[in-house]
Amino acid sequence: MSYKDEKGRRYGVKIFSRPTVFFDVDDTLVMWDEKVKGNTVCIICDGHFVHMVKNEGNIEELKRHGSRGIDVIVWSKGGAYWAEIVVKALGLERYVAAIMNKPFCYYDDLKNPLGEHRYYPLGEKYERDEEN
């Protein structure tokens, strides 16, 4: 099975058969609030420089999942292009299996098929597992 992207290029369907975890970009991996204090990353998007505070707890969780063979999918309501730029700026490419637009809805017989909601608020300390 193959599809065409917006430029007419053919691509196959990626099958995700391992456990999968999703991470949002905005206010999850990087923070938009300019008053927030913390370590920053410079993100260059379409010629604009944006300094954003990194949410270290969620970034460490992403790395932990990716290091353990879990498929990490990063999404953003701002689009896949923005999500890709942020992933690259944070140096997370080796941990991420896919990048996509954030879904605007989903269909499923379960009320919450995506599983448990998790989030490290900015400034909350990330506690490593016993095995590390």
- The per-residue pLDDT for range 32-46, each reduced to its tens digit, is 877 878 888 988 888
Q: pTM (2 decimals)?
A: 0.79
Where exactly are the structural domains of the chain?
Answer: 16-101
Please write the tens of the pLDDT for every residue from 77-120.
999 999 999 999 999 999 999 999 998 888 887 777 777 777 77
> pLDDT at position 13, please?
76
Exposed/middle/buried for 73, CB within 10 Å: 0-12, 13-18, 19+?
middle
Higher pLDDT, 17 or 102: 102
**Under 8 Å between Cβ of 11 and 2:** yes
Higher pLDDT, 72 or 115: 72
Please tell me the CATH code under which domain 16-101 is placed: 3.40.50.1000
What whole-number distance in Å separates Cα of residue 17 and Cα of residue 118? 22
* CA 121 vs CA 10, 27, 40: distances in Å: 40, 9, 16
Exposed/middle/buried for 85, CB within 10 Å: 0-12, 13-18, 19+?
buried
What whole-number distance in Å separates Cα of residue 70 and Cα of residue 63? 10
**Under 8 Å between Cβ of 83 and 74:** yes
